[in-house]
Amino acid sequence: MLKSFFDLTIIRIYLIFQFVTRACLGLFGITQNQIAITELPGIFLVGIINDFIAIAYFLPLMLVISSCFHRVLRNKITIYKICSLGTYFLINSILIFTLIAQIIFWEEFGTNFNFIAVDYLIYTHEIIGTVFESLPIYKILVAFTISSTLLTYFLRNYIFNQIAQINTRFYLAYALSLFALSLGFSKFYDSEKFTLSTNRYAIEIGKNGGYEFFTAFFNNSLNYDRFYQKLPNDTAIDIVRANIIQPTQEFLNNKNIERYVNKNNNLETKKYNVVLIMVESLSAKFMGKFGNTESITPNLDKLADDSIFFTNFYATGTRTVRGLEAVSLSVPPTPGSSIIRRPNNANLFNASTIFKKAEYDISFIFGGYSYFDNLNKFFSSNSYKVIDRSNFSSEEISFSNVWGVADEDLLFKALGELDKNYKAGKPFFSLIMTTSNHRPYTFPDGRIDLPSGGGRNAAVKYTDYAIGKFFEEARKKEWFKDTIFVITADHCAASAGKVNLPVAQYHIPLMIYNPHILKPKQVDNLASQIDIIPTILGILNLPHTTKLWGTDILNFPANRAFISTYQLLGYMKDEHLIILAPNSKPKAYQLSGINQREIDDTRGNLTHEAISLFQTASSFYENGELTEK
């Protein structure tokens, strides 16, 4: 029976493609210093086992289809051969496509297929558009078709021999046995734990891409109570309340985190305008202020000198929606998809709740189409006026690609909207999300000394140029002197590393700027995106009621930060990192710069603090306690 299994042409083809894919990723990993050549034997050993486990999931269906074909067409041999060749052409095409897609995905994200691949599959317009704009797609399609045709032609005799030997009962018995095996694997197998390495890159190369894709598809939402370690609810909420309370605050009850924020009597209260610019994929490492020597952020570096500049600041996640969630809701990350993409996310207590009560005009301005990632529905149902690409006239667009209008067009559009708010006599809070620093990295010609489509550095430098032009114009406006500008990133340009949560890949800049209001200084306190709005409210010195989880990191720094993937929840504090993972005990790490060393959990209090914060945030969302009420 085992020999018959290996005689199946589809198994041979599949295993060869998996070997080639893994070899390509391994070679790339070696050239990029992601893995060592000595790790390859372990990678391929684990990989072949993962491939056989994946076969147990997809082969039963193929065996049943083959049996049905044989039953219907066995007496019509010419039609049978044509249908078989067509089926194998399709299979070969899928395998070639998957091989190419995995390599491109790895180059962009440094990981095997995961929830990002699933999310991107939903937005076919953006993904297909990116492919067409960044790759010679027609040449690739021709090469793709020729490759699939030649491979199918080369295999024709194997395919014809296969169909001549089909035993329907045997195939169905095979299918039933493999299906039973797959049910067992679903209970006990976890590709995350099946590994011979601690190197995250090696673990990812050893995985099976197809299995990982479908696993992410079916597990894109994770229930905290089911998968993560918990504390008693009363204990957890007590720890959270002690963690977030500040000297100028008092709780309104003893059940949740709702509290009243008093004025800081040492400061004047004034309704300054607030403009918060979130820059796509702006890793700290791109800036000269953090040691970059390629001079791609001259405007941002100058802005940092003139701002309150936070040097130890972190993104909470790896996707734009996670960054927007952290900033707008000021809540720790919850497992699975961002709240922005989940149900029951209307009328949540967020930044707009406080600004709305203070009679601000509130807007979300985006260079792309805001149906993407459910942005329109989320922001419009949470008191934001949404302005996106559909609101731009043709005269307002000098350049666009599939992801959105050029950043300079976006920011000049924002200037016009802010002018309207000023003329209406209302203060304004505007959240602006850029798009140009995204593959295919294209932008208007002649703006900078790097070519459009020239890669990440060119895109970063163009966005820096656009931000420089924005401030050049903003300084001419009457409202400039009364406006606080905040510049940060949604997430880093890459999130993968040799460890589960590579801290350096979450490091982003934060600048709070207005030369008429704020004195420049450097702040080294540890913080993350959920702290931005509470800090701005501290500068405004605006009395308000809040249910935000962040802290005012200028006046009352908590010196802690949250980072995450869709499964892993990380809590940084006191040079330690606590990581919570599904169906696992929390792990503790000692941080030394970008290095992480796993340690025995001797800091139980910090672990309990991490569990309490993530557990309570998830519980509050699930139970509707994040709503305005």
How is 181-212 classified by DSSP, letter by letter? HHHHHHHH--TTT--S-S-HHHHHHHS-HHHH
Q: What is the pLDDT of residue 333?
A: 96
Residue identified by tokens 């731009």 is 392
H helices within 381-455, ranges in order? 407-423
Within 13 Å and on the Cβ side, how many CA atoms surround 139? 3
Residues carrying CATH 3.40.720.10, the chain: 227-622
* DSSP 8-state class, residue 290: G
What phi and psi, each to the nearest 5 degrees, are found at residue 479? -80, -5
Strands (E), 211-334: 249-251, 259-261, 273-279, 308-314
Residue 158 contacts by C-beta under 8 Å, 6 or more apart in sequence? Answer: 9
Amino acid at 283: S
Under 8 Å between Cβ of 325 and 319: no
**CA separation for the pair 558, 552 (Å, rounded):** 8
**CA separation for the pair 460, 280 (Å, rounded):** 9
Residue identified by tokens 């082969």 is 59
**CA separation for the pair 446, 511 (Å, rounded):** 28
Q: What is the pLDDT of residue 3?
A: 41
Residue 601: is it exposed, middle or buried by C-beta count within 10 angstroms (0-12/13-18/19+)? Answer: middle
Number of Cβ atoms within 10 Å of the Cβ of 201: 27
Q: What is the pLDDT of residue 267?
A: 66
Strands 361-366 and 308-314: unpaired
**CA separation for the pair 511, 471 (Å, rounded):** 14
How is 48-61 classified by DSSP, letter by letter? HHHHHHHHHHHHHH
- Terminal-residue alpha carbon distance, the chain: 64
Residue 430 contacts by C-beta under 8 Å, 6 or more apart in sequence? Answer: 273, 274, 275, 276, 362, 363, 364, 365, 414, 417, 418, 421
Within 13 Å and on the Cβ side, how many CA atoms surround 462? 30
Closest CA to 109 of 566, 434, 464, 577: 566
**CA separation for the pair 184, 128 (Å, rounded):** 37
**CA separation for the pair 236, 228 (Å, rounded):** 14
Distance of CA 176 to the CA centre of its chain: 38
Within 13 Å and on the Cβ side, how many CA atoms surround 573? 18
Closest CA to 574 of 564, 586, 561, 556: 561
Residue 41, preceding peptide bond in cis (omega within 30° of 0):
no
Angle, alpha carbons 46-49-55 (nearest 5°): 140
Under 8 Å between Cβ of 335 and 569: yes
Q: What is the pLDDT of residue 143?
A: 86
Residue 368: is it exposed, middle or buried by C-beta count within 10 angstroms (0-12/13-18/19+)? Answer: buried
Residue identified by tokens 């994946």 is 54
**CA separation for the pair 57, 192 (Å, rounded):** 18
Residue 377: is it exposed, middle or buried by C-beta count within 10 angstroms (0-12/13-18/19+)? Answer: middle
**CA separation for the pair 461, 300 (Å, rounded):** 10
Under 8 Å between Cβ of 308 and 539: no
The ranges of the chain with pLDDT < 70 are 1-7, 115-135, 218-221, 263-267, 498, 594, 602-603
Please tell me the CATH code under which domain 227-622 is placed.
Answer: 3.40.720.10
Closest CA to 419 of 275, 269, 271, 270: 275
Residue 121 contacts by C-beta under 8 Å, 6 or more apart in sequence? Answer: 127
Closest CA to 519 of 311, 306, 312, 268: 306
Alpha carbon separation from 45 to 3, 22, 209, 499 (Å, rounded): 20, 11, 16, 21
